Chains A and B, each alone.
Chain A
Amino acid sequence: MPEIANILGVAGHTALGVSLASSILCVLLGISSRNATDLATTYTRQQNLIILIFIGLAVSLSILTYSIVTDQFALKYVVEHSSSQMQVWYKIASLYSGQAGSLLIWTFAISLGTLLLSRTRTASFQARGLNAITILTFIILAFLFPLTFLSSPFELTSRVFTEGIGLNPLLVDPTMLIHPPTLLLGLASTSIPFAISLGMIISKTSNIEWSRSLRRWTLISLLILSAGNFLGAWWAYTVLGWGGYWGWDPVENCAILPLIPLAMLLHSKPLQERLGLFYTWNLMLGCLPFVLAIFGTFNVRSGLITSVHSFAESDIGPYFLGLLAVTLLTPAILLTLGTRVKSVTHNYDSVLSRETGLIINNFLLLSIGLVILGGTLFPVASELANGARIVVGPLFFADTVGPLLTILLIFMAFTAPLVWTKTLKKNYLQQIKFPISLAVLISIFAVILGANGLINLLAIFACAFGILIHSFEICRAITKNTGVASSPYDRVLQPFKRNPRRYGGYIAHIGLAVMAIGIISSTAYESRNRFTVSPGDSFALGDYSFEYQGLWGRKPEKNGIEIEAGTEVTLIENSEVVKVFRPGRRFFYAAPNQPVAIVDIDTSLIRDVYVFTQGWDEQQVAEIQILIKPLVQWLWIGAGLYIGGVLVSLSARDKSMLKNS
């Protein structure tokens, strides 16, 4: 076995070396051919080298996967992150549970994106294409360097091991099979908008093909990164056993921060197309997601911020600090020194226009981003200034980001019926009066039923108004059908086919409002209580009655789990058992002092009954915590709608008005 591992280690290193050499060549080719006359030849050579980089990384990833699956414990990475006791899919999850593995996936994902971008056939690919491809290859090189020389996944152990440590117990969950790779893929995908924008900055020109490409890749990044964050929230809700899905932990903040400039860019790009405005702004926004992704990676790897998510803390933090400085300063300096603000041709006739709405929403998103960034960095700043780390908890973010998000939702709703250039006041009032009245009625109805808190009520109004106005706009498009749609099905689909960019966006907005309903109701109107009970005891929370039956336990004999044990609690309605909950704890051989919660949830569209056990003693006296979380399922439904909306928007065959310049 060690001989095979040795061969695999050498092969893995060689594959990485091939990618490294190819990326160096590709970068040199890009730099040296800046003044070459035959750019097309250079581009073809770069395309070939990119294929080589991709193959090298694909081979090393396959070798690492094979090593993990076949328990090659002569490799240090396999020993530290895998175990022969784990099922094959959890073994595969080991690929990204450690630093070297996750860096390899990052690099592979960037190379995949580079490969796809390099195959884009555009009429003027040469100058911008070369720049973007060279920048992307440089990024790959920057990731390959630590992979090859500082933190290789193919490093051999100094002695023979027969078993590995296994996965971090918290990661032994099916969601972990898709959440981390999705998030890594999303973070890596931000390198493409970065490279395209920086390419434009270097060439000091814009180009219709690359602008379209920028929009498409921004949407792709937004889609993947959002999905990664939603899956993370789902994992937190179903695994961590605290009843929440978002803790405003610094690492979580780092994962959503790149989403903000991505969303801003999507909303300010049309302003550039319509007004000729925000050219430099958009280039900055194109670069920022990747800078923030590197910032997040640096945070996680450096241990700079204290987080419950710091699984991959390591000593290559300073390297990422350098990379962060390069990615941040390069576009900043080039923009400051090298680009002039383009002369604009205004076509702004009225404040009551879509342009105004988009400007307001863009800057609201900026405010939200800055507040999150400030709260995330404040513990570090306080430690540097005072020597004492001041932790910023969820309450700060709830008090600051919550109201800003509510205002954003309200403006989002008010913007939907606005048209470009000038909206007639009479038409606008006509369009909003019914949804706004209905939203006010719903809010009053909510007050009558007991809703309280100004921000909560404003948020309920914002969500209702947002859902209604966007739904009305979609209905209006369906009923205004000008085509030859024959069936009702075609009529409904026609607006999405005709203008997927707009109506996909509306669906995404409805999704956000529905998500907000789930968030507001499950946090502001949640009920929870702890009960210390003996077998046979009954207890109640609100209208729900429960009975504690006793303890249970089992030995799954897989995935390194030593024992699973917990309590059996029944939900009783009209003297009948309607649901049996079996919450408990999962104990691992490798980490006996780090049990993981087993949560049991009774789910419905109206509420979730969330049950978990905090502990028990020898007399079977247990401490059980029950949470009633109203409408929390709408958070996931909203997330699905949002993703669906982004997908519809992505299907657009862009008819951009941007002119070649």
Chain B
Amino acid sequence: MKTKIFNSTLLFTLIMSISLSAATTATAQTPESSIEIQALAIENQLRCPVCVNQGLTTCALALCNDIKNSIRTQLAEGRSPDNILLFFEESYGTQIRSGLAPRGFNLWLWSWTVASVIIPTTAIFLIINRLRSGTN
């Protein structure tokens, strides 16, 4: 009985894990034109210049649709993604970039982020060491 329950649960888990993984990756292979893939990658790095906290990809404003079309046109003309991003940054300012470049005042946030990881990690080591030495 024990073995039966164990085996069926194991089989269920195995099937579920494999099917999930397969489905994840099968859809990853959806054929897209290379320009469309690059365009979507660029769109993901830009935000709507008008709306609040709205990505370019998801914004339905006419302005955003123009930017999306412009991305595709520029890609078709052979411009590199970096150049296209720079073009929009020059046109609309750095605020159009979704990401936060590690420069200028942004470095404060990046420093905070690094400290948020380093300080707790150090705390883990200190606490474990103290516990160990306490035992020893």
Contacts and interface: CB of A to CB of B under 8 A. Distances in A.
Interface of A: 241-244, 247, 249-250, 275, 277, 306-308, 346, 348-349, 351, 355-356, 359-360, 363-364, 366-367, 370-371, 374-375, 378, 381-382, 385-386, 390-396, 399-400, 404, 438-439, 442-443, 445-446, 449-452, 460, 463-464, 467-468, 471-472, 474-475, 478-479, 481, 488, 491-492, 517, 520-521, 524-525, 527-530, 541-543, 597, 606-607, 614-615, 623, 628, 630-631, 634
B68 A446 contact: no
B18 A442 contact: yes
14 contacts: A250-B53, A351-B128, A363-B120, A371-B113, A392-B100, A400-B113, A446-B22, A449-B21, A449-B29, A450-B25, A450-B29, A451-B28, A479-B5, A542-B31
Given A371-B117, A396-B109, 14 more contacts: A242-B58, A247-B55, A307-B53, A348-B135, A393-B47, A393-B98, A443-B21, A446-B24, A450-B29, A474-B9, A542-B32, A607-B23, A628-B27, A631-B20
A363 B113 contact: no
Interface in B71-113: 95, 98-100, 105-106, 108-109, 112-113
Given A395-B100, A479-B5, A356 B113 contact: no
Nearest to A403: B117
B54 to A, nearest CB: 7
Contact of A528 (B14, B25, B40, B51): B40
Contacts, number: 210
Among A349, A363, A364, A607, the one with the most B-chain Cβ atoms within 10 Å of its Cβ is: A363
B105 A382 contact: yes
Contacts of B52: 306-308
Contacts of A391: 47, 53, 95
A492 B135 CA distance: 39
Contact of B30 (A386, A517, A541): A541
Contact of B23 (A349, A359, A400, A631): A631
A543 B28 contact: no
A5 to B, nearest CB: 36
Contacts of B55: 242, 247, 393-394
A180 B77 CA distance: 48
Contacts of B59: 242
B25 A438 contact: no
Contact of B68 (A363, A530, A630): A530
Contacts of B68: 530
Given A306-B52, A395-B99, A631 B24 contact: yes
Contacts of A363: 120-121, 123-124
Contacts of B38: none
User: Dominant SS at the B interface?
Assistant: helix
A309 to B, nearest CB: 9
Contact of B25 (A394, A451, A543): A451
Given A530-B68, A607-B23, A367 B98 contact: no
Contacts of A346: 131, 134-135
Contacts of A395: 44-45, 98-100
A142 B126 CA distance: 40
B89 to A, nearest CB: 14
Contact of A371 (B14, B53, B65, B116): B116
Nearest to A382: B105
B13 A446 contact: no
Nearest to A518: B20
Interface in B1-36: 1-3, 5-6, 9-10, 13-14, 16-18, 20-32, 36
B51 to A, nearest CB: 8
Nearest to B118: A367
Nearest to B43: A528
A524 B51 CA distance: 24
Contacts of A404: 117
